[in-house]
Structure 1
Amino acid sequence: MAAARGSAGKPAAERRTDPDESAAYTAEPFVPRGADLAALREAAAGCRGCPLHREATQTVFGAGDPGARVVLVGEQPGDQEDRQGRPFVGPAGQVLTRALDEAGIDPTETYITNAVKHFKFGHLPGRGKRRIHKSPSLREISACRPWLTAELSLIDPELIVALGATAGKALLGSSFRVTKQRGMLLPVPEEGARECVVATIHPSAVLRADDREAAYQGLVSDLRVVAEALGRP
C-alpha cells in the first residue's frame, strides 16, 4: 500500500519530521517513551524537531548527577559546548562552577542542561568564520521543551535553577522576566509539579557586565537562596 500523502506530496512520516512543513516545531516525535537518561541522550542526537540541528555540530544534552536535588537549566549550548558535546564547558561554565561552590552547592551533585539543545549562531560581516551566539526564539524553545520535560521527569529534582531569561521562559512561561523575578522561590506552573524554580542571570552575563564583580555577587546571592532552601527541613 502506498504511503499516505498530503497536499505537499510527501509521506506523512516525512512531513512529521520536516520542520519546514509544519506549523509548529516540536521534538516530541523524537523523544522515546519510558527511556532512561542514557537512552534519551542517544535519541536526542538524532533530533530534527526544529531547523537548528542543520548548522550545529551536534546535540548537546544534559550532564551530571542523575539523582541530583538541583537541576540547572541554561539557554543553549555555546561555541565550545557545541564542539565538545557537553553543557557549560566554556568560560560561562567556569563562572557557574565557582559561583555554585561559593554559594554552598557542590557542583558535582547537580545536573545541568539547556532549554535548547542545539547551538544557534550567526556570522558578522568582517568577522570571518567566528560563530556569534543568537538567542533562540520562543518557537525554538517550545520545540525543545519535550527533552527538558523528559529530563526533569526522570531526575525529579527538589529545585530547578533557571539561568537567564530563556530558561525562565521555558520553565515559567513567556511572561517571565528575570530582572523582576530572580532570587525567589517560584512554583512550576504545571499540574502535579512539586519542585520550585529559582531564577538568576546566566553566567555569561557576568562576563559581559561592565561591573563583573557586582554581577557575579548577584549570581552567588541568588544561588544561596537555592542552598538555603535545600537545607530547610
Structure 2
Amino acid sequence: MPERRKPPVSRAELNECRRCPLWRNATQGVPGAGASHARIMLVGEQPGSQEDLQGSPFVGPAGHLLDDALEQAGLDRDKLFMTNAVKHFKFELRGKRRLHKSPGQLEIEACHLWLERELKQVDPRIIVALGATAARAVLGRKSVTLGTMMDTPVEHEGRLVVATYHPSFALRQRSDDARAAAFDRIVRSLRAAARLARGES
C-alpha cells in the first residue's frame, strides 16, 4: 500500500479560509487526497457538486470518467495524489440545481498557497493539469492555451507538467464521437504521464 500520512491541507483549514468569497456558499472545502509521496499529482479546476457534498476530490460524474481513463492508462488511483486548483465549489443556482461556474483569476490566486503546500509535501515528479484553469494555477500564468501544451510536457520548477482535458469536458460533448475523442485524449495524456514518471520519454 502507498504510504499515507497527515494530508498537506486539512478540511478544517479550508473551512476557516477567507481569502476569497467562495466559502460562503460552498458546503465545505475539499482538500487533496491520495498517496503521501505520489510520483504523479492530478490537479483539476475545482470541486463539483458531489465533491462539495462529500468532501473528497473526483467523486462525481467527472471523477468516475477519470477512474475509467486511469484504468485504461494503467494507473492506480491509490498511488496518485488528486487535488484541485480551487478548493471550494463555485456555482450559480438555477431552481434547485447548482450549476458549475469557472473560478476567476483572483480565486485561483487566493487558493494558490494551498496548492503550493500540497506540491511541497507530496513532491510529485509529474503533474497532470486537467483543463486550462488547472494549468494556469500550476504554472502561475494568467493565460494558457491548452492545445499547445497537450503534446509537449512543460518543465516547471523541477517538475514536468502534462496538460489535458478535464474529464468534465468529455462529459459535455454532445456527440458520442466527440466524447470518445476527448476521453481518448485524456487517456493518452495519462499514459504519457505514467511513462515520464517511470523515467521514459
TM-score scaled by structure 1? Answer: 0.78
Instruction: Please point out which of 118, 127, 134 is paired with 1:160.
Output: 127
Instruction: Determine if the alignment matches structure 1 residue 119 to structure 2 residue 89.
Output: yes
Query: Who is 1:177 aligned against?
Result: 145
Query: Which amino acid in 2 is paired with 1:206?
Result: A
Matched, 1:187 2:187: no
Pick from 56, 60, 65: which aligns with 1:90? 60
Match of 1:139 in 2: 106
Tell me, yes or no, if the aligned pair for 2:20 and 2:110 is still in contact at 8 Å: yes
User: d(CA) in 2 for partners of 1:77 and 1:39?
Assistant: 15
CA RMSD of aligned residues (A): 1.4
Q: CA deviation at 1:231?
A: 2.0
In the alignment, residue 76 of structure 2 is paired with which amino acid? D
Following superposition of structure 1 onto structure 2, how do residues 217-232 of structure 1 map, counting pairs within 5 Å? 217-232=184-199
Distance 1:207 1:39 in 2: 29
SS of residue matched to 2:129: strand
What's the counterpart of residue 71 of structure 2? 101
CA offset at residue 177 of structure 1? 1.1
Count residues in correspondence. Answer: 191
Measure the CA separation in 1 of the matches of 2:198 and 2:41. Answer: 16
Distance 1:85 1:40, change over 3 A: closer
- Secondary structure, aligned partner of 1:82: helix
- Once the two structures are TM-superposed, the CA of residue 42 in structure 1 deviates from its matched residue by 3.1
CA distance in 2, matches of 1:232, 1:196: 11
Q: What TM-score results when the alignment is normalised by the length of structure 2?
A: 0.90
Q: Report which of the two structures shows the higher radius of gyration computed on alpha carbons.
A: 1
TM-superposed CA distance for 1:39, in Å, is 5.9
Q: Please name the residue that 1:199 is paired with.
A: 163
1:77 corresponding residue in structure 2: 47
Q: CA deviation at 1:176?
A: 1.2
* Residue-by-residue CA offset, 1:10-66 (whole Å, 9 max, x unaligned): xxxxxxxxxxxxxxxxxxxxxxxxxx6266443222111100000000001101111
